[in-house]
Amino acid sequence: MKRALVCLTSLTESDLKKGKTAVIVGAQWGDEGKGKIVDVLSESFSVVARYAGGHNAGHTVIINGKKFILQLVPCGVLRAECRSVIGNGVVLDPLAFLKEVGALREAGVKVDGNLFVSSRAHVILPYHRMIELAAENAPGRVKIGTTSRGIGPAYEDKMGRRGLRVADLLDLDLLKKHIENAVREKNMIAHALFNSEPLDADRMYSEYARAAERVAPFVCDTAVLLNQALANGDSILFEGAQGTMLDIDHGTYPFVTSSSATSGGAVIGTGVAPNALNSVIGITKAYSTRVGEGPFPSEDKGPAGEQLRKRGNEYGAVTGRPRRTGWMDLPLLRYAGMINGIDWLVVTKLDVLDELPEIPVCVSYKIDGKQTMEAPAQASDYDKIEGVYRKFPGWKTSTEGITKFDKLPRQTKEYLSFLEKETGAKIGMVSTGPDRDHTIFMDDFVSELKTAAGKP
């Protein structure tokens, strides 16, 4: 582990630009299928680094029919030759992390020596879950639809400068003192506001001291590791969590996550420089979904929406919650392209549309009778939106498992070409099924991947 912590002071600016990078971002409300895409693309990268979120972000990857659900660990871990990094922008639940690592070991996945955790990542502790669960269920509170895993309160403590980082978790004297002080304060708050049962500080310390010992072998300064990888000419794929419209700054506030889910978060959440980012790959479903509360302009609450849910198996990988479903929303997709600087678009779950006689696409909004292409800043303004739709003829034939673009039905090609034209981003990949091999690669995209990987 310590071999990664080399001195960078002798490296020149040109040295630090040798390695190529790409950022994977969700272009909708999350659940776009980033897990499969990161897994597929990780073959072309030396390192995969996760830069935001917590263990609410379940990525499902299916390899030869075998399902892997990853919550904290980057999808690159499924490639033995790829290093995986959990960056400083992630909030880490040590118990959830160890459970996931244990499951991967049992499945024969190589994690030891391949997986690294930032010493600067903040830690989720039981009182974070207590506070979030109580707040989400408190009378009169606006429900955000969180998973109540303590992620939001952990980020609150981080920004309030009262958090516990992974480096602190390993310092047992500091850990004991932190838990004693925090539990005293959180118990008082939770009892006063929500009448919650108090937590036991001694029991918490014993449990997390044991966990710290098992987490320790994975911990290092991952910013140094990543910058050294770039200096050595290695390629890095930055793996986002959630989606653009859940970003704390740019999403449908307050119905958002607590971290930077956009491409800019890759810089903040890992410690690489902004000029180290070479390209941004946006992931979008061929339709739209959303979990939890909040605006959803193109939502379809009728039979067609239910058909999307059933065919797309639209239930949370971690929580099992049914997702809300609807149609492609071009104003939001263009907004995501602008915020993230999306160069390439990956369209997932195309095969879910196979049985539809027609496919609506929301091309613009009307608010108070006036047509607009802009996404409102206030969540309440979304209630005023009337979607303007263009309907495309369905192809009414199976596209599942197709791996060549020219094998797609004519109507499917027209639908994809329209999305490409309207968003201004090139389509690089199309996913036609859940398995790793159910993927169409565009020639230009393949050429760029080979360049990023340093291949001829």
**Residue 387 has which token pair?**
């979607």
**Cα 185 from Cα 326, distance rounded (Å):** 43
Give 105's contacts (C-beta < 8 A, 6+ positions apart): 111, 112
Collapsing DSSP states into helix, strand and coil, what is residue 403? coil
Q: Are 314 and 305 in contact (CB under 8 A)?
A: no
**Set 15, 39, 55, 59: catalytic member:** 59
Q: Are 443 and 430 in contact (CB under 8 A)?
A: no
Based on the residue annotation, tell me whether 31 is a catalytic residue of this protein. Answer: yes
Q: Are 193 and 138 in contact (CB under 8 A)?
A: yes
Give 347's contacts (C-beta < 8 A, 6+ positions apart): 284, 285, 286, 416, 419, 427, 429, 430, 431
Give the number of other CB atoms < 10 A from CB of residue 213: 11
Q: How many residues does the chain have?
A: 456
User: DSSP secondary structure string, 281-314?
Assistant: EEEEESSEEE-SSS--TTB--SHHHHHHHHHTT-
Q: Are 284 and 34 in contact (CB under 8 A)?
A: no
Which residues are the active-site residues? 31, 59
